[in-house]
Structure 1
Amino acid sequence: MRRGSRTPFLFLLAFQVATSLAAEPIKLASDTAAATPSESSPNKAAIEPDPDSARLIDVIVAQQKNALTALQDLRAKEADLKNQLTRLASGTIDDGPPYSILVLDKLNDAIAASRPQRESLDESQLAARDAVERSRLEVEANKRTLRQIKETHNAAVAESIKAIEREIRFAEETLVLRRLELSIEENHRSIHSLELKINERKREIVSKQVTFAKLTLDEKTAELDVREMELNAASDSLKLDLQYAERRWLAARQEFDALVGPNPSATERVEALSLAKQTIQVEQGVVNQRLQRLPMMRASWDRRYRVATGQSTREERRQWLTETLSQLEQLSRERRTRELKLAAARSSLDAVASKADESTSQDPERTRWLDRQNESWSKQIEQYNRSLWGIDSASRALTRLQSEIEGEPSRTFAQWIEDAWGSLRRVWNFELTSFDDTSLTVGKVASILMFVFFGYFAARWLSRLMGQRLPTFGVEQAAAGAIESLSFYVMLITFALAALRYANVPLTMFTFLGGAIAIGVGFGSQNILNNFISGLILLAERPIKSGDLILIDSTYGNVTRIGARSTLIRTGDNLDIIVPNSKFLENNVINLTRTDDRLRSSIKVGIAYGSPLEKVMQLLEQAATENPGVHPQPKPSVSFNDFGDSSLAFQVFFWVTARNMAQMRTIETQVRLAIDRLFREHGIVIAYPQQDLHLKSQTPIEFRLAREQSECTEFKAAS
């Protein structure tokens, strides 16, 4: 409870008890006024007035006087604090500089503790305002009821009017008291704000002229030594107590096991002795934790002294800051654990209290052991609270050390570079995982990635250079392309293995990962692997190669590039077709230029009946032979294929050199032009489809010629 606020709140508590006892009579009086018979029922008597109303009003008035006295004291204290704040404007406090580091710690603790107090004061002020509003509404409601009763002009309700007037008086006095209480809460809030400003101003003054003397460090070290001796003595005493408690519990347990039938008192006795032993263990754990924190407290005071006196290096301060942050995180975890145990202990205490309330007084032995359980749980709660207090004390000490380390003067550029390099080095050497006695750090991963990245471009450049130079040594262009692709993959794998070797990462580290990847790839990437392996087979076996003219799915095209997953084919229309590599191994593919570039072509032509056949065959052979794109050997040949319906079918065969369909079509076009020219010169007609129509009829066919203005001429003709 806040200082200076205990007396008014005790009076407030007494008032609430008194009003709770007197609430029913007052409500009865109010209900009587509301239920007073009207002029139509004069035989119903009015309820007698409450004789305790005057006494309750006197109690409220007495509380008003006490509240007024407390308010005057608070206002006097507020005025005194304002004077203190005014005196602090001079820049000094009573003790005078230099100021001890302990003074600064005390001010920091007071400022930190004021934050939760501010929230509590805000809640109290809101509650007081709500109470004032409720009292005001009650006064208005009573006055409204009184006005309504007076308007009836009934003499039988005279006593009820007096009761309502006493209720109004009581409500008005209560409203005055609530307003005084609101003023008290507002003054508490104002005093808290002034105290916070005074402490902040003092901290501002002290922090400029604070000193950390060696004597202060020695005093704190001596205090910690004394505390260590006390805790060791307490630990030794608790060991003896625990042995005694264990013997008592074992004896009670043996007696309980020897009993026949249920015995509630014996059951509660065993539970109480077991709980007493557990309570000693809890206290022992708290003492041991406090002992374990003493070296940390000594180190924090020593480090604060070295930081304040400039006896520490930057590397030491960085290391201390890392350790301090880790210790604060550990204390935070311990606090959460203690809070959970404290909540469980409070719940158990409530359960024991409920069990004690339900038990009858006919079994005093069982009641006594339930009281012992209650005492044990209360002691555990006390120990958990002491543990939380110790954790908070250690956290405050470490937080002071952290703020003093982080509050160092601004770094120079060289120091900034040094810190940045140190941070980068720590990140570079951070261990991600380990396998056997080999650690995989961030630096190794980055080295491997950079090595593979530059190795990729190096492999690409070297393989391209090799593919460009090989044709100059007599290697075919298609073979050079295959060697370029294979060498790229070989060099890329070599660079990857070299990167792992450079970083001292064994391949066994990726055994498990490789197995997992293989399974995933096997199920989810079958087609990709199939096409990749097919591409390697195509590059090695070379059933097709770059530049070959192939026929696939009734489409002619030249192989442009054989990649890792697919092959690129370019048609005569300059369209690129991407074909998966597996299709070349699973389906029939016609390679027109696999062994050489020579292709046999043919042209069909129809000659009119009656043409000289020997001359036709001679001219067809001449048209093919004279073309420079046609091979003289084997010689062009002509065949007489058939007697067609409209023509005599001839076909000339010849061999050409073509790497694509465009070249072949060009030569075929030239041969066709030559055939047409020679046939024209020698009067040979190239036939076209003809049909003769024969009409048969037994009667003459009638024809009519229609002219304009419906004039027509009819004639008959014989069939």
Structure 2
Amino acid sequence: MSDRQERASGNRAHPSVNSLPAGAGIAMKLWFHHHPCGKVASRFMGPFSRNNVFSPPFGTMRASTLYLSLRCITVLIACFLAAAVPASAQLTPLNKLAGGESKKGAEESAPAKESRSPEDLRSSATKQLKEAEALRDRDSLESAPMGISLAEQDERRMLVGMLITYLSMRLNSVEALDEAKAERRLAEQEARSSVGKEAPPPYSVLKLDELRDAADAVRVKAQGMESSLEILKNEFPRHQKEVQQAEEASRRALEEETRAKTPEDEAQATWRKMLADLRVRVATLAYANANLRAEVLAEGLFSARTRLTPLEAQVERVSKDIRFSQGDLNSVLQRLEAERGKLEKELKEVLDRNPQNVARRTRIQADLDRARAGKGPDDGHVRLLETRLRAVEAEIESNKVAGDVLTSLLTIYQGAKVLWQLRYEAYAGTDSEKRRVAYEQLRQSLERIRPWAPYTQRMLKVYRSQENDQEQRLATVLPADPARQLELEIRDSYHRRRVMYERLNNEIEGAERALLHWQKDFDVQRASRSFEQRLADWYAHLAYYARKVWNFELFAVEDTVEVAGQKVTTSRGVTIGKSLGAVILFLVGFLIVSFAGRRMQGVLVSRFSVDGQTANVLRRWVVALAVFLLIILTLNLARIPLTVFAFLGGALAIGVGFGTQTLIKNFISGILLLLERKVRVGDIVEVEGIVGRVTEVDIRSSTVQGFDGVETLIPNSSFLENKVTNWTYTSPQMRRALKIGVAYGSPVHTVSDVLMQCAARHGLILNDPEPDVLLEDFGDNSLIFALYFWIEMHPQVNALKVASDLRFMIEKQFGDKGITISYPQRDVHLDTLRPLKVQVVPEAQGTLGG
């Protein structure tokens, strides 16, 4: 049987890593996909990834030789594993990390600190690394027993590579632990030496900034270590579970080895038992490395906290008594100016490279077009030119990004100069209003700069992703490929973009932290001011907000004026201050106009004997006209253009026009009534079935008082659009009629004389024209007489009262003369010549019963 056939008999299909035991499979997948040292392990595993690594044909060995060789290998590997770090026996709980109490429930999953010295750890790891490399070399020369699948062989090679990688990582961690412990001793020494060496106050504001920057740097470092340590602590249960699973698998492999009967079965079981022990070793070493890394982080975290505590105390002490001198401001401005000069020089260099890169891209594009026209798409020269074009375009884009970032940095440094000057004004200024303005502008600057940090962080993620993608692309390019250097240039371009945005992000985050500190300092400084100073600050704030409300612009309007024959359009804003000023000015003017109108009414009545109602109407119309002029004058004095009402354009203007057309129509009708004087105050009119005296003619409507005292408001337009009867239009004299019915047989001439005498005796009835009595009709029950008389309608004259007086007088005179006032009567005549016909009508049939 050939070697290929023997392999096929051992394993018909090559299983994936998912077919491995649970602990080893999970560990390898997580390590290869997520651990940064996965690529290192892959380099070690590379030589063992071929299926023909075991070249000697296993079938040519004798069974006894195979059995003895496997037993010897088993003993050697057992001795090798015995020298390793103990697996679960030494993995006791770690109760404290960096001096902090561990969380409840995590004690059973956290390994203990290494009890051996760093020298012992380093010596042990170095020795184990050499033995692991020797095992790798030995495995490359020896063959696996018959019946061992290719997947198991690949797993062994992978585990040996992981073991070598973990041991290398352990050596690095031991070195890092030495450095962390030395750093801790140095931090403790610095903390002890800093006690009692404080300089006397007052302190410079630059000193405070220096301490804060140092504290922020240490705080960020400590936070990063805390996050890493928390992640490691969360990984401890997984490592422990993998170790337990690997140990269980090792014990099962040992049982299989003891149950082997034939030399071939025993050789396979022994080989698998060594593979299981190798899994235990790798899982245990990963767990121990996590423990060692946690100890390194704990030492570093303790060092950071040791340095942070005195720094925070110094910041707290210095911030209570600081001074900001003009010299401090000048030194800061000089430093910012120097940094700005460097940025301008760097930006100039970037911009100078753009024409060269654009020219290169043009030449390469031309060469690529010619190459594509002459060759097929699979030509190597075309692909090289395409890569070269990608490289120069990446360089152009990187220069563009660099230019944008440098421009942003120049803007930041320019703004920093203004902010420092505002800070100086807020600290050293004596004017409350200027301090308030400085504080407000600094607060606004903080609000403006906050959205930029998330933006730069998003761009950093994009450029990191591009750089990682390019790294993966570069890994597929062979070292001898001519395009590799171009791919390296593309990677460098992506790297340059990321570095530039990291630079911008650091500046933005630093500026945001500084503004937050400054804002806190201002709050502390204001709280420590005297009552008089705080009162001045409150007054400044109150005045500021009052001005802000007063100058708040409601809307803006455009006003067109003609200057030197040309129309010039200017924009004017309508503010709350202008509006309130206009309202106040209008109210004052209205009070004056109202007072003048009342005085005018009194003069008209007293001196010019004008009727009171007429004088009242005149006053109202004069006041209305004065108010209209006052509105125009107020808008001009308040500098509010009349075009402010132009915003009522479009659909709104149409709606307002339809809504106010009735009001405008009545207003114009009132003006016409006053001008034409067809209807005046005191006239007796009849309009729309209403009869009464006109008492008022106002702007919108007129008031008509009926003879029953009820006042009716009639729109002015009704007097122009409808038929109106004005009984007193040309003369106040009005004829009235009184009708009387007397019984038949009465002396008609006597009745006429009595009626004339009664009319003549009444004082309100006019003699010219004289009254008149007419026999108008022979009624059903009486003779109808009509007394027509004239009266002069004045407000004091009531026609109904006059008619009533006449009736009283007529009734008395008729009684004296024996004249009867008839009343309704009817004669009934019965025909007695023949008897009355009486007929009994029977009830309708069917109404009873059913």
TM over 0.5: yes
Candidates 539, 548, 559, aligned match of 2:694 = 559
2:586 match? 452
Shift of 1:209: 3.2
| Distance in 2 separating the partners of 1:106 and 1:233 | 27
1:101 match? 205
Range with bigger deviation, 402-411 or 183-192: 183-192
| Distance in 1 separating the partners of 2:410 and 2:337 | 11
| Distance in 2 separating the partners of 1:593 and 1:454 | 42
The alignment status of 1:290 with 2:409, answered yes or no, reads yes
| Distance in 2 separating the partners of 1:532 and 1:20 | 94
Shift of 1:676: 1.6
| Distance in 1 separating the partners of 2:611 and 2:482 | 109
SS in 1 for 2:798: helix
TM alignment of 1:429-468, pairs within 5 A:
433=556, 435=559, 436=569, 439-440=572-573, 442=575, 443-468=577-602
Range with bigger deviation, 479-488 or 609-618: 479-488
- Code of the residue aligned with 1:279 in structure 2: it is S
1:526 match? 661
Candidates 654, 658, 662, aligned match of 2:789 = 654
Shift of 1:613: 1.0
Range with bigger deviation, 452-461 or 297-306: 297-306
The alignment status of 1:317 with 2:435, answered yes or no, reads yes
Q: What are the superposed Cα offsets for residues 24-55 of structure 1, whole Å, 9 maximum, x if unpaired?
A: xxxxxxxxxxxxxxxxxxxxxxxxxxx99xx9
Candidates 28, 53, 67, aligned match of 1:21 = 28
CA contact (8 A) 1:268 1:369 kept: yes
Q: What are the superposed Cα offsets for residues 116-170 of structure 1, whole Å, 9 maximum, x if unpaired?
A: 999999999998998899999999x9xxxxxxxxxxxxxxxxxxxxxxxx99xx9
2:254 match? none
Distance 1:351 1:125, change over 3 A: closer
The alignment status of 1:247 with 2:359, answered yes or no, reads yes
1:230 match? 342
CA contact (8 A) 2:98 2:301 kept: no
SS in 2 for 1:650: strand
RMSD of aligned residue pairs (Cα, Å): 5.5
Q: What are the superposed Cα offsets for residues 610-648 of structure 1, whole Å, 9 maximum, x if unpaired?
A: 111111111122222222232222111111111112221
Shift of 1:21: 3.4
1:542 match? 677
| Distance in 2 separating the partners of 1:571 and 1:531 | 22
TM alignment of 1:90-169, pairs within 5 A:
94-98=197-201, 99-106=203-210, 108=212
1:471 match? 605
The alignment status of 1:380 with 2:534, answered yes or no, reads no
| Distance in 2 separating the partners of 1:16 and 1:338 | 41
Candidates 504, 508, 512, aligned match of 1:391 = 508
CA contact (8 A) 1:621 1:636 kept: yes
| Distance in 1 separating the partners of 2:727 and 2:291 | 108
Distance 1:676 1:97, change over 3 A: same
Query: What TM-score results when the alignment is normalised by the length of structure 2?
Result: 0.60
Range with bigger deviation, 490-499 or 406-415: 406-415
| Distance in 2 separating the partners of 1:662 and 1:64 | 128
| Distance in 2 separating the partners of 1:180 and 1:399 | 38
Shift of 1:199: 5.8
| Distance in 2 separating the partners of 1:102 and 1:17 | 57
- Code of the residue aligned with 2:782 in structure 1: it is S
| Distance in 2 separating the partners of 1:137 and 1:658 | 119
- Code of the residue aligned with 1:495 in structure 2: it is L
Q: What are the superposed Cα offsets for residues 276-298 of structure 1, whole Å, 9 maximum, x if unpaired?
A: 21211221222233233334334
CA contact (8 A) 1:132 1:182 kept: no
Shift of 1:464: 2.7
SS in 2 for 1:667: helix
SS in 2 for 1:639: strand
Range with bigger deviation, 640-649 or 286-295: 286-295
Query: What TM-score results when the alignment is normalised by the length of structure 1?
Result: 0.70
TM alignment of 1:498-509, pairs within 5 A:
498-505=633-640, 507=642, 509=643
TM alignment of 1:581-660, pairs within 5 A:
581-659=716-794
Distance 1:181 1:483, change over 3 A: farther
1:277 match? 396
CA contact (8 A) 2:741 2:821 kept: yes
SS in 1 for 2:746: coil
SS in 2 for 1:492: helix
2:316 match? 204
| Gapped regions of structure 2 (runs ≥ 5) | 1-21, 31-73, 102-112, 114-179, 246-276, 560-568, 840-850
Shift of 1:513: 4.3
Distance 1:307 1:461, change over 3 A: closer
| Distance in 2 separating the partners of 1:114 and 1:542 | 95
| Distance in 1 separating the partners of 2:704 and 2:213 | 80
Q: What are the superposed Cα offsets for residues 356-396 of structure 1, whole Å, 9 maximum, x if unpaired?
A: 59999899677876665554344323322321222233344
| Distance in 2 separating the partners of 1:661 and 1:358 | 118
| Distance in 2 separating the partners of 1:602 and 1:656 | 11
1:45 match? none
The alignment of Structure 1 onto Structure 2 pairs a total of residues equal to 634
Distance 1:257 1:671, change over 3 A: farther
| Gapped regions of structure 1 (runs ≥ 5) | 1-14, 24-50, 142-165, 704-719
CA contact (8 A) 1:246 1:277 kept: yes
Q: What are the superposed Cα offsets for residues 437-479 of structure 1, whole Å, 9 maximum, x if unpaired?
A: 6754644443322211222222222223222321221334444
Shift of 1:348: 6.4
1:152 match? none
Distance 1:184 1:430, change over 3 A: same
SS in 2 for 1:557: strand
SS in 2 for 1:451: helix
| Distance in 2 separating the partners of 1:207 and 1:384 | 33
- Code of the residue aligned with 1:683 in structure 2: it is G
CA contact (8 A) 1:560 1:568 kept: yes
Distance 1:226 1:133, change over 3 A: same
| Distance in 2 separating the partners of 1:652 and 1:468 | 43
Q: What are the superposed Cα offsets for residues 536-593 of structure 1, whole Å, 9 maximum, x if unpaired?
A: 2223333323343332222223334333323333434444433322222111122333
Shift of 1:598: 2.8
Identity %: 25
Shift of 1:662: 8.6
Shift of 1:415: 6.8
- Code of the residue aligned with 2:94 in structure 1: it is L
CA contact (8 A) 2:24 2:242 kept: no
SS in 2 for 1:68: coil
SS in 2 for 1:635: coil
Range with bigger deviation, 313-322 or 107-116: 107-116
| Distance in 1 separating the partners of 2:87 and 2:490 | 45
Distance 1:217 1:552, change over 3 A: closer
Distance 1:193 1:522, change over 3 A: farther
| Distance in 1 separating the partners of 2:302 and 2:737 | 112
| Distance in 2 separating the partners of 1:560 and 1:315 | 62
The alignment status of 1:68 with 2:94, answered yes or no, reads yes
1:716 match? none
Distance 1:71 1:554, change over 3 A: same
- Code of the residue aligned with 2:503 in structure 1: it is R
- Code of the residue aligned with 1:220 in structure 2: it is V
SS in 1 for 2:319: helix
- Code of the residue aligned with 2:629 in structure 1: it is T
Distance 1:135 1:65, change over 3 A: closer
- Code of the residue aligned with 1:95 in structure 2: it is E
Distance 1:137 1:496, change over 3 A: farther
CA contact (8 A) 1:557 1:661 kept: no
